[in-house]
Amino acid sequence: MNKGAKIGVAAVATAMLAVAGYGAYNIAGALTGSDAASAAKPRTVVAEPPTAEQAAAAAKEFLDAWAKGDVMAAGRLTDAPDAATAALTAFQDKVKPSAVHLTAGGPTSFPSPSASAGAKSSAPAAPSASASASTAAAPTGVPLSFKASMEFAETGTPWAYDGILGLVKMSDGKAAVHWVPSVIHPHLGAGETIAVKPVYGTPGTVTDRNGKPLGGFPSLTGVLDRFKTQAPQGGSPEDAGSGVLISPDSGSGAPEKLFTIKEPKPVPALKLTLDATLQQAAEAAVAEQSKGGTRPASLVAIEPSTGYILAFANAPATGQNRAFSGATAPGSTMKVVTTAALLEAGVTPSTPVACPATTMVTGRPVANDFPDARPNNTFADDFTQSCNTAFIEKGAAVLKPDTLPKIAKDVFGLGLEWKTGLSNFDTKIPTESNMAGAASEFIGQGKVQTNPLGMASVAATVQSGVFKMPVLVPGMEQKPAARQLSGDVLGNLRTLMTQTAKSGTAAEPMAGIPGAAAKTGTAEVDGKDTNSWFTAYRGNLAVAAEVEGGLHGAQSAGPAVAKLLRIGNG
């Protein structure tokens, strides 16, 4: 494990032991003299600043000790010897320069707070009364510059940078370096590590699957920046170079490369799974149905045969990637999964399943998008008309509380941990303790949370018959689902979605699109306009969209999906 130079508890503790041993030796020796009491008295920072001559002399002495590798001596020349010695030791061990050259400069000024934040620097802070306190409110003291030049055996080019020391006056009348992590490098802050680590080449360009550039698409701006600045998936050690990096100890956030020691092998243009033609249509569809970005919306298109993500778009284009990371109820689009469970439980499209005007769920009435009761409905009618009450009552009669979460995960991959190449929210369908709690999930309400990525994958699984984990980077591992639907169940499910596109709730947006199969969704939101959902497939293309406050699924999300299905995939 490659650990860098950081201000950590373990490292400081090690240094404290070392310094404590040194101090004990000197104190023990000093006990024979008349000044034992003064020798044991700790140095503290005083308010009075050092003179210019004192500051310059102390800075030079500190830099000379560090350059010679005498980190104990350098640590003693700071106002926090334990922390300084530990950090300088870690720097030697983890950066391993073959030679260190440090040259004292002259008076300078501390960076402004905004400049410091922009450069990730940690300027020397105002000293406190305690010698061990190395972080305070604002930089004070006497700021002096220095130049650093580090040599490495692997390269003839030295790593050069400018640094700043803050000099304070101590209670013994001498000057000392105020210790903060930025003494080592101006960009090093608390909670960060500096070390030599492998670095990989990054692609100069990112293209779609056909080699077309992907610049200019609003929803992809941040994505392209990320792929250009981070190592592509699967980089081999043979391709790696090395460099000096600052990394956050938390593990979140990208490291900052300060210096390249060995250049990595060049990387060709990175091809994503996206299709530029469909991406352009997705951007236009989302912009239109979001009314120019005034209401949030998102869309995802997937190739069922491969699981490749062909397009995704968001409104607004900046901020959260709703298409991948949204976590809201999908409404009746979840009935595709519930229907698979009901078909496996023995229900058929021709099974009589009445559609009451209302039914009760956890003490609350649930109605349909139409006011009348339809007692003579078959299950096919219930699906194509999207009858909530029929799904709730039939589900309660033949399913168990854990049936929907199980089939969602085992057949459709919902609930597995997805690795798409970008951050994404994995669909959540909690297992309820009783049927009353599970009933809302049958119609995509309750505690169900997902996004267009999840629901586009549901449609893709129905189209292909096999769950293929969606990915954005070709070659990424795609975990399979545990099982597939039987031929009869799959065939009936496809027929029901096709009928819905032809003559059911999805008929209007799917008009004129041959071979389309679809399911609408209207998600209830307390006190707000309902959210519009739609998932569909045609040939080797599956698409899902959501529009917040877009009302019925066929009104907003449906037209967005239709725009891509009309183009098709190949």
pLDDT in tens, 478-492: 999 999 999 999 999
Is the model's pLDDT at 7 over the cut of 60? no
- Angstrom distance (rounded) from CA 297 to CA 317: 9
Structure tokens at 403: 């049936």
Top pLDDT among 338 and 361 is at 338
**Residue-level pLDDT at 407:** 98
Flag whether pLDDT at 27 surpasses 60.
no
Distance CA 62, CA 70 (A): 10
Higher pLDDT, 136 or 394: 394
Confidence label for 15 from pLDDT (cuts 50, 70 and 90): very low
pLDDT at 151 over 90: yes
pLDDT of 476 strictly over 60:
yes
Which one is predicted more confidently, 177 or 238?
Answer: 177
How high is the pLDDT of residue 200? 83
Q: Is 204 exposed, middle or buried (0-12, 13-18, 19+ CB in 10 A)?
A: exposed
532 half-sphere exposure, CB direction, 13 A CA radius: 26
pLDDT of residue 61 exceeding 60: yes
248: Cβ contacts below 8 Å, ≥ 6 apart: 191, 192, 193, 255
Q: How far is 398 from 345, CA to CA, in rounded Å?
A: 7
Residue ranges per structural domain of the chain: 5-23+41-190, 206-271, 276-567
pLDDT tier at 17, thresholds 50, 70, 90? very low
The structure tokens listed for 214 are 């992907």
Strand segments (E) across 116-255: 142-152, 155-169, 175-177, 192-199, 206-207, 241-248
Residues 224-255 pLDDT 10s: 887 876 644 445 677 889 999 999 998 877 78
Q: Is 333 left (phi over 0), alpha (psi -120 to 50) or beta?
A: alpha
pLDDT over threshold 70, residue 20: no
pLDDT score of 33 more than 80: no
Q: What pLDDT shows up at residue 284?
A: 97
Question: What confidence score (pLDDT) does residue 329 get?
Answer: 96
CA dist 10 and 248 (Å) reads 17
Same fold yes or no, 5-23+41-190 and 276-567: no
Q: What is the pLDDT of residues 317-333, one digit of tens each?
A: 988 899 999 999 999 99
Share above pLDDT 90 across residues of the chain, in percent, rounded to a whole number: 75
Q: For residue 37, what pLDDT band results from cuts at 50, 70 and 90?
A: very low
Q: Name the helix (H) or strand (E) containing 368.
A: none
Of 39-43, 100-104, 157-161, 199-203, the poorest mean pLDDT is in: 39-43
Could you tell me the fold of the domain covering 276-567?
A: Beta-lactamase (3.40.710)
Beta carbons of 100 and 87 less than 8 angstroms apart: no
Average pLDDT estimate for 248-268 = 88
Coil, strand or helix at 503:
helix
Encode burial over 548-561: b for 16+ CB neighbours within 10 A, e otherwise.
Answer: bbbebbbbbbbbbb
What does the pLDDT average to over 269-282? 95
pLDDT value at position 293? Answer: 81
Is the pLDDT assigned to residue 347 strictly greater than 80? yes
Give the model's pLDDT for residue 299. 98
Which residue, chain included where needed, has tokens 């597939």?
484
Which helix (H) or strand (E) element contains residue 542? strand 541-547
84 versus 125: which is more confidently predicted?
84
Q: Which residue has the tokens 């610049």?
A: 215
Where do we find the tokens 């373990």? 10
pLDDT-derived band at 269, boundaries 50, 70, 90 = confident
Task: Tell me the pLDDT band of 314, cut-offs 50, 70 and 90.
Answer: very high
Position 113 scores a pLDDT of 62
Beta bridge partners of 449: 428
Phi, psi of 66 (to 5 degrees): -65, -45
Spatial separation of the C-alpha atoms in residues 157 and 153, rounded to whole Å: 10
Q: Is the Cα dihedral 459, 464, 467, 469 positive or negative?
A: negative
Q: Which two tokens stand for residue 516?
A: 């389309």
User: Considering the chain, what is the average pLDDT of its residues?
Assistant: 88
Are the C-beta atoms of residues 81 and 19 closer than 8 Å to each other? yes
pTM of the model: 0.69
The CATH code of the domain at 5-23+41-190 is: 3.10.450
Is the predicted pLDDT of residue 5 greater than 70, yes or no? no
Q: State residue 134's pLDDT score.
A: 37
Is residue 55 within 8 Å of residue 146, measured between CB atoms? no
User: What whole-number percentage of the chain has pLDDT above 70?
Assistant: 87
Predicted confidence at residue 120, as pLDDT, reads: 52
- Cβ atoms of 410 and 483 within 8 Å: the answer is yes
Q: Order of strands across the sheet with 99-107?
A: 99-107, 142-152, 155-169, 175-177
Cβ-based neighbour number of residue 469 at 10 Å:
18
